Amino acid sequence: MKAQRKTLSITDIKLTNARGVLKCLKGNEQISRAGISRATGLSRPTVSVLIAELIDKGCIIECGDGEAHSGRKPIILKLNRAYKYAIGLDYSSSRFIRGCVCDMAYGIIAKAERPCDASRGCILEITSGLIDELLQHIPAESSLAGIGIGVTGIVDTVKNRVIESERYDLNINYAGYLQDRYAAPIFMENDSNVAAVAEYAQGKARGKENFIYIFCSEVIGMGIFLKGSLFYGNMFNSGEIIHMAHDGITETCGCGNKGCLGVKLSESNIISQINNGDKKVNTMRQVYNLYHNYHPQTEAAVNEAAKYLSRLIANTSKLLGIDDFVIGGFFTGFGERFLRAVSEYVKQEHVGFRSNAINIQFSKFLEDGVALGAASLVLDKVWDLSL
């Protein structure tokens, strides 16, 4: 018996065509109706009808006449950056919560942060204050499309809840509470994953179907992109590498075990090693200053971390056959000298014909990656006409 082929309704076809038009506009700062017709393969009458509806909706705007070699000048179209706005929140630190407001072109128009002690359980109150502050930057004539949250830990993106977090105790109805309070959809995702989304959409991994994003903050994590989409695994726990066992690591992890990779690739480990020498530091800003001034104890601690990071990159590349890696988080503060060291160590670890093909870059967005990626979760759905 032959499988019945699903018949698309007129509504489905129209939605697909509208998404194609918006995708074309996202990829072109300014374009005419004729240009959209050529790029999408849709007829000019179909494009004209869709454009009229999207203008009426507020997604796109007309911005004057274009150039013409002969005949009537085409009317140029562009995205309406102020159509909707999204808020992205970064829960990757136990010391503070960061947030940003983004327009429809994924541009950050405002940023803010609030100190937060994860052990005190006051995250909901602090988050609400931060959101209220960010809302003040959204123009009165526009509106909030939604709020995205990047969280350290394992996040069930289907049920929109945190299964397990290394940092914050977020109860099962956390997203629901915020949604009721702000009358806007809430989307929760792992912090490394949302940072990877930002890099894929607007950063160093733009156009790359397969890449790995390694996020190093107080906790290390990995966002995996395969064939242009995030890879989650069966339990949403892909890329949870903090407790990956590694020979040669004798320190005890916070989980109680010895040998966890996250021990060596953490801010606290580097600071601790420096404090065992002739300098005393409390912040990564102080560590960066010592490293850039070639302080021996600091260089030794950072180079050790570079070696463990290189082993992680080399082994991941061997396992998945992926050559492109983006590093985000605190390692970016060490600059190009650190990146060159990691690349050299990778060549030593990755023996074989692909050893010179591995491309390692720092994140384009540095400390804004998680918040921007969280906002992108919302904006992607607006452009997909899901919101």
Q: Would you say 216 and 92 are in contact if contact means Cβ atoms under 8 Å apart?
A: no
Asked if pLDDT for residue 351 goes beyond 70, the answer is no
Catalogue all structural domains in the chain, each as residue range(s) with its CATH number. Answer: 10-79 (1.10.10.10), 85-196+369-383 (3.30.420.40), 207-363 (3.30.420.40)
Mean pLDDT of 117-139: 85
Radius of gyration of the chain (CA): 23
Asked if pLDDT for residue 264 goes beyond 50, the answer is yes
Q: What is the pLDDT of residue 66?
A: 64
Which range (218-227, 231-240, 300-309, 316-325) has the least confidence? 231-240
Q: Kindly state the tokens that stand for 62.
A: 């007309």
Q: Exposed (0-12), middle (13-18) or buried (19+): which is 297, by Cβ within 10 Å? A: middle
As a whole-number percent, the residues of the chain with pLDDT over 70 amount to 92
Strands 154-156 and 211-216: unpaired
Q: What is the pLDDT of residue 139?
A: 94
Q: Residue 224 and residue 145: Cα distance in Å, rounded?
A: 27
Q: What is the pLDDT of residue 304?
A: 93
Q: What is the pLDDT of residue 1?
A: 42
Q: What is the pLDDT of residue 135?
A: 97
Tell me, what DSSP letter sits at residue 235? T
Q: Residue 356 and residue 347: Cα distance in Å, rounded?
A: 7
The pLDDT mean for the chain works out to 87
Instruction: Find residue 212's DSSP bridge partners.
Output: 224, 325
Asked if pLDDT for residue 87 goes beyond 70, the answer is yes
Q: What is the pLDDT of residue 354?
A: 65
CA-CA-CA-CA dihedral for 47, 103, 187, 169, to nearest 10: 170
The most distant pair of C-alpha atoms in the chain lies apart, rounded to whole Å, by 78
Q: How confident is the model at residue 109 (pLDDT cuts 50, 70, 90)?
A: very high
Mean pLDDT of 220-245: 87
Q: What is the pLDDT of residue 212?
A: 96
pLDDT digit string, tens, across residues 8-62 = 566 788 888 998 888 888 877 788 888 899 988 999 999 999 999 999 988 889 8
Q: How many CA atoms lie within 13 A of 283 on its CB side?
A: 4
Q: What is the pLDDT of residue 2?
A: 47
Q: What is the pLDDT of residue 276?
A: 86
Q: What is the pLDDT of residue 147?
A: 97
Q: Helix H segments across 166-206? A: 174-182, 191-202
Q: How confident is the model at residue 68 (pLDDT cuts 50, 70, 90)?
A: low
Q: What is the pLDDT of residue 118?
A: 60
Asked if pLDDT for residue 152 goes beyond 70, the answer is yes
Q: Residue 218 and residue 142: Cα distance in Å, rounded?
A: 36
Q: Helix H segments across 184-329? A: 191-202, 261-264, 267-275, 284-292, 296-320
Q: What is the pLDDT of residue 298?
A: 94
Tell me, what DSSP letter sits at residue 331? G
Q: What is the pLDDT of residue 172?
A: 67
pLDDT digit string, tens, across residues 265-282 = 888 889 988 998 788 888
